Amino acid sequence: MVKNIAIIGDSESVKGFGAVGIDAFVCDEIESAVSLFKKVTNQERYAVIFMTEEIFSAAQREINKLTEMTVPAVIPLPGARGNNGIGSKRLSAFVEQAVGSDILFK
């Protein structure tokens, strides 16, 4: 089965992704982030789910439930509303876990 790529974020941040074949899910209200994330992951269509950092923060508890699974990979991206560093911190933690030291950001 072919797996697709999705992005979840505010309308300003995700509007161009559809043009390159990524399924875009608009979430302009933080309160609906968890339910939208569950809807997208329950479809089992996506190998990679990009999320704006703001939405990623709101859905963190649900994302943590998927950490032991290899699919889908959930990746935070800075959104149009700004960058709060979640993506960099997460990447740093993964590198430190894999290598034993943070070789990227130290």
Query: CA-CA distance, 106 to 97, in Å (whole number)?
Result: 14
Structure-block tokens of residue 99: 């290598």
Q: Which residue has the higher pLDDT, 82 or 10?
A: 10
How does pLDDT run across 33-44, given as a tens digit for each residue? 999 999 999 988
Please tell me the predicted confidence (pLDDT) of residue 104. 60
Domain count, the chain: 1
Q: Is residue 106 one of the residues assigned to a domain?
A: no
- In this prediction the pTM is 0.80
Q: Is residue 87 one of the residues assigned to a domain?
A: no
Q: Is residue 99 one of the residues assigned to a domain?
A: no
Domain range for 68: 4-81
CATH of the domain at 35: 3.40.50.10580
